[in-house]
């Protein structure tokens, strides 16, 4: 039973965490990556898109000299996407939902990624992406990159709740099996019967 609950726990982690992360970061194909902040300046970028690119996931990578981002519910960056004078995406980014990766083994900088959202309906037009500072302070930003991925999948909204339930069941079962699994009632037939004669035999 202990092994079964361990498998249930692993399934919960896979469904609730690994699956949404993989769909967000790896489904679809890359349209391109643009540097939108460097040397203390933000700069907007214009990208031509086509209906066949939809849906498009907008990802933002922030390079900073920090082990983690503690934004305390404040926005580190803001992002808008617009075309034809119409805003199609507006998002605030906090960069505290995933572990960072190293920018380079020789540098202390870390790269933090956040998902700005999806552009589901795409027309044959140029889209203006504008990234700017949020209201969080004290974030040592080195660079910011915008990445667009086309024809992406979207995680099933039921995955995270199902993963949490499976994980909770697996963890609870694993703990209970560890607590009570070692308590076996003593089998009276597991010991040989006492000798009736010879040395150590029962007296009559």
pLDDT tens per residue, range 127-161 = 999 999 999 888 889 999 999 999 755 555 675 67
What's CA 71's distance to the chain center, in Å? Answer: 17
Q: What is the pLDDT of residues 31-82, one digit of tens each?
A: 999 999 999 999 999 999 999 888 999 999 999 988 878 766 789 999 999 9
Query: What is the per-residue pLDDT for 148?
Result: 95
* Whole-number percent of the chain with pLDDT over 90: 42
What global pTM score does this model have?
A: 0.64
State the residue for tokens 């500072």.
133
For 179, counting Cβ atoms within 10 Å of its Cβ (0-12 exposed, 13-18 middle, 19+ buried), the class is exposed
163 preceded by a cis bond (ω within 30 of 0) = no
> Please, what is the average pLDDT of the chain?
81
pLDDT for 43 equals: 96
């Amino acid at each position: 039973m202990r092994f079964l609950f361990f498998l249930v726990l692993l399934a919960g982690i896979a469904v609730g965490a690994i699956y949404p992360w993989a769909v967000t970061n790896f489904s679809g194909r890359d349209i391109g990556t643009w540097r939108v902040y460097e040397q203390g300046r933000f700069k907007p970028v214009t990208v031509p898109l086509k209906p066949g690119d939809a849906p498009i996931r907008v990802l933002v990578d922030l390079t900073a000299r920090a082990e983690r981002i503690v934004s305390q519910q404040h926005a580190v960056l803001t992002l808008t996407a617009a075309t034809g004078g119409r805003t199609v995406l507006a998002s605030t980014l906090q960069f505290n939902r995933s572990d960072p990766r190293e920018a380079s083994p020789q540098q202390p900088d870390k790269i933090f990624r956040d998902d700005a959202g999806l552009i589901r309906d795409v027309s044959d037009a140029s889209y203006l992406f504008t990234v700017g500072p949020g209201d969080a302070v004290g974030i040592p930003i080195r660079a910011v990159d915008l990445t667009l991925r086309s024809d992406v999948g979207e995680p099933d909204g039921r995955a995270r709740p199902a993963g949490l339930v499976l994980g909770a069941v697996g963890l609870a079962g694993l703990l209970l099996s560890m607590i009570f699994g070692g308590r076996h009632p003593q089998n009276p037939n597991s010991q040989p019967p006492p000798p009736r004669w010879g040395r150590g035999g029962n007296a009559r």
